[in-house]
Structure 1
């Protein structure tokens, strides 16, 4: 919601006209999926298709969001649109909760049921050296029941994961301060703390990129490193992608704030991005404990 939207000045419920954006976004995603699939299967041209699709998709989203901002600034969004946006964002975050629940569930199932099954008496004849320890990597034991996983080292909670935890928790505080500043009408203070929040997100991603390079090159920890490697990269990788998306949300909200958008009374664009960022923070806390400590 924007500064130009006031109760009673907007339509009963704004319905936009026919738009090219959905079909254009679908075209971009087609090239993304085509390129990713072909690249993974060894076709070099897939990388170009993936890059083209991502660029196409980004341009379409920029135009789509720009239209939404113009509609909001033009006073077309009233209370009913505000409620629609809130419900939409809430259901979107719920879908993200279920998304991460699937990966946390896979990690839980592997550790609680799969490992004990492989180490049971029924499997001792096939894999006599296998022990039910996580992550199936210890001296004198196989790295996998079939012996097909190369030796690797795991990543503990110190120092980078703990530093990243502090960064995300701090970013949640700075974002909350910015929100309170906006509600009090202190726009300059709000913008300053928003830039600080964006910076913290960027630093988090930088540390995670360094951690990945160290794990892959120095620890031989890869996606092929058994269930540990696959769940480690899926959980931390998808979370990192969500941090990147959330950081972009906050960046664009900050730029809108600098243009004078939003008021202390109506600023759901800000609130929606804040909801998403706090969700990312909570997921990281669970990930920090389940992946790095346990």
Structure 2
């Protein structure tokens, strides 16, 4: 029984690390411009497909695949912000929300139009190596996903807290107009935020494709919504909250599947969303603030 629990905890950490990477994009964009980027899940999907293209056309090397996908999605994130969000920055929240949903539909349907709706097999970027520690099987891929996720999350934390761009991001999130008066270009910072969040989503897409060995054009919908739940759980706008929320959601989902029922997988995530909105709407790490309508 103990071995099974430890194994499921490891599975939960693996899935939760991916949720955390995607959730960071949601929480950063919201922290800067108070917008929920519902196209973020589809950018994660694009990252998986860019990784597939890189592995097929360029080189079947994980580093090459990861860098190619992250760079491609960083550019896509900036493009989406310029086309779908920037013109509506001073409009009502509902206008920006509708635009975000429209951008999501356009991206996913474009992939279906180009590639078709079928699932695509993902190339093996890691050897199937499994370690047995005290009767507990641990795959090299699981360890690598967790380690890569931690490295990327630490990299984001370092950028936000120890670089000029990070200081500017925090200034814009506090008060956009005051930041502009201090000589900061908000447009540049917002674009950088979208690029940074989209690159992390791309990394998550490559990791998921490698882990599950298959991807499809609709994979961004459910994963994106669950990552949004993770961001809300941790406190939308809080980077540590997004990390923590992703891990908690992954553990809750995997343990629920193992000890309750596999058919309950998706209900767990959205049950957590309903519960946190009722009990603590600001999330575990969030703070109360008035929002303009």
TM superposition score normalised by structure 1: 0.27
Structure that is richer in strand per residue = 2
**Structure label with greater radius of gyration:** 1
Greater share of helix? 2
